[in-house]
Amino acid sequence: MTKTELIDKMSKEASISKAAAGKAIESLIDGVKKTLKKGNKVTLVGFGTFSISKRKARKGRNPRTGEAIKIKASKAPKFTAGKAFKDAVQ
């Protein structure tokens, strides 16, 4: 499902305009991004939790040349599905 399809579905099921549904989805995404950037997590009960995963610096290999390279420490977004969500898709 694409973002446009999600907006259409939300618009129909909530009986709101596509513009309002689009703004609601953008607001949700923006809120999650800002909260994660601050270092906090977002928990949606029954759906899941968005958090930041910290990756340590490590050594790797360039697959093309086989040369050893250093990979810097980084942060990556992480989603953990909640129990109700897991049960719904099984």
Total count of domains within the chain? 2
Looking at the structure, tell me whether residues 29 and 45 fall in a common domain: no
For residue 89, what are the domain limits? 41-90
Looking at the structure, tell me whether residues 33 and 47 fall in a common domain: no
Question: What residues form DSSP beta bridges with 49?
Answer: 43, 80
Global confidence as pTM: 0.78
CB-count exposure of residue 51 (10 Å: 0-12, 13-18, 19+) = middle
Looking at the structure, tell me whether residues 50 and 89 fall in a common domain: yes
Looking at the structure, tell me whether residues 63 and 74 fall in a common domain: yes
Convert the pLDDT of each residue in 8-67 to its tens digit. 999 999 999 999 999 999 999 999 999 999 999 999 999 999 999 999 999 999 999 999
